[in-house]
């Protein structure tokens, strides 16, 4: 009887050894595959974002302006409850850390001039829309000949074409507050 008990223990020990060996083999195989996968993958390099590029500030301004399309015009507004034209410019620039005057005329006077034939997204467009004022309206150039602006009471912020029959002939100039 003693020898059959020893045989059973020996069989159990053998089974345990086989199970542990199989587990160790599987773990070793998994480890080897992981190492091979890591070695075979292409080296990663930092992804260049638009924030690293010189025009990124302008692109960010344009994107933030486009995000406001459909929001209501609000006279004197410069927050997410509604914007007037210069309030939209003021709000977006301040969100990005730029100190910008509050009115369209002040923004025109303080901005760095940009040639209208070389507009980039985020540039400001200044218009003469009221008698007695050289500059009375401002918009943000979105690219592809379009701009975002907050037009007037009763109308939402919209995207318009630069060659628009009303705004096109009233374009006074362009500027920006970043370099």
Residue 39 falls in the annotated catalytic set = no
Catalytic residue among 9, 85, 93, 128: 85
142 CB-near residues (< 8 Å, 6+ apart): 62, 65, 66, 121, 148, 159
Contact 93, 138 (CB under 8 A): no
Contact 124, 107 (CB under 8 A): yes
Residue 137 falls in the annotated catalytic set = yes
Contact 114, 175 (CB under 8 A): yes
Catalytic positions are 85, 137, 149
């Amino acid at each position: 009887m003693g020898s059959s008990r020893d045989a059973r223990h020996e069989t159990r020990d053998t089974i345990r050894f086989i199970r542990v060996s199989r587990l160790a083999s599987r773990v070793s195989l998994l480890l080897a595959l992981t190492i091979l996968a890591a070695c075979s993958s292409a080296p990663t390099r930092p992804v260049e974002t638009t924030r690293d590029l010189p025009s990124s500030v302008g692109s960010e301004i344009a994107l933030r302006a486009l995000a406001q399309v459909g929001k209501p015009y609000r006279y004197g507004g410069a927050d997410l409850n509604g914007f007037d034209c210069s309030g939209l410019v003021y709000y977006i620039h301040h969100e990005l850390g730029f100190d910008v005057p509050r009115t369209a005329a002040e923004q025109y006077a303080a901005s760095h001039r940009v040639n209208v034939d070389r507009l980039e997204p985020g540039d400001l467009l200044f218009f003469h829309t009221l008698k007695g004022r050289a500059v009375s309206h401002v918009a943000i150039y979105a690219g592809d000949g379009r701009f975002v602006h907050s037009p007037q009471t009763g109308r939402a912020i919209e995207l318009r074409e630069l060659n628009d029959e009303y705004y096109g002939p009233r374009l006074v100039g362009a500027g920006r507050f970043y370099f």
